[in-house]
Amino acid sequence: MRITNGMMQLNTVNNLNSNMKSMNDIFAQMSTLKKIQTPSDDPIIAGKSLKLKIDVNQISQYQTNIEDALSWMEVSDGALKNMNGIMTEVRTRLTQAANGTLTQEDREKILSDIEQLGEQLKQEANVSYAGRYVFSGFKTDQPVYLEKATELSQDVTLATDMKLSEDMELSGQITLSEDMVVTKDMTINGLSYAAGDTVLAGTTIPAGTTLPENTIIPTGTTIPAGTTVPKGTINPSVAGHTANHDIKYEIGTNTQLEINQTGVPEMLAGFESLLSDITQAISDNDSEAISALLDDMDAVMTELSEMQADSGSRQMRLEFTLSRTVDEKVTFTELLSNTEDVDLEEVFIEYNSQLMVYQAALQATSQIVVNTLADYL
- The per-residue pLDDT of the chain, averaged, comes to 89
Per-residue confidence (pLDDT) for residue 349, from 0 to 100 = 80
What SS3 class is residue 203? coil
Q: Inform me whether the pLDDT recorded for 200 exceeds 80.
A: yes
Q: Inform me whether the pLDDT recorded for 122 exceeds 90.
A: yes
Q: Inform me whether the pLDDT recorded for 375 exceeds 60.
A: no
Which of 107, 87, 88, 89 shows the shortest CA–CA distance to 97? 107
Distance CA 209, CA 224 (A): 12
**What is the enclosing helix (H) or strand (E) of 337?**
helix 287-340
Evaluate whether the domain defined by 34-140+245-341 bears CATH number 1.20.1330.10. yes
Which of 235, 243, 265 shows the shortest CA–CA distance to 156? 235
Beta bridge partners of 250: 256
Per-residue confidence (pLDDT) for residue 205, from 0 to 100 = 95
Distance CA 147, CA 154 (A): 19
Rounded average pLDDT over 86-102: 90
How do the domains of the chain map onto residue ranges?
34-140+245-341, 146-233
Which of 240, 227, 246, 302 shows the shortest CA–CA distance to 269? 240
Q: Is the dihedral of CA 171, 176, 180, 184 positive or negative?
A: positive
Distance CA 299, CA 295 (A): 6
* pLDDT tens-digit map of 156-177: 999 999 999 999 999 999 999 9
Distance CA 110, CA 94 (A): 8
pTM for this prediction: 0.81
Which residues are CB-contacts of 205 (< 8 A; sequence separation ≥ 6)? Answer: 170, 173, 174, 175, 176, 188, 189, 199, 211
pLDDT: is 372 or 192 the higher one? 192
Which of 108, 89, 90, 107 shows the shortest CA–CA distance to 99? 107
* pLDDT tens-digit map of 220-239: 999 999 999 999 999 999 98
Following DSSP, what letter does each residue of 219-255 receive, concatenated?
Answer: TTPEEPTT-EEPTTSB-TTTTTS-TT---EEEEETTE
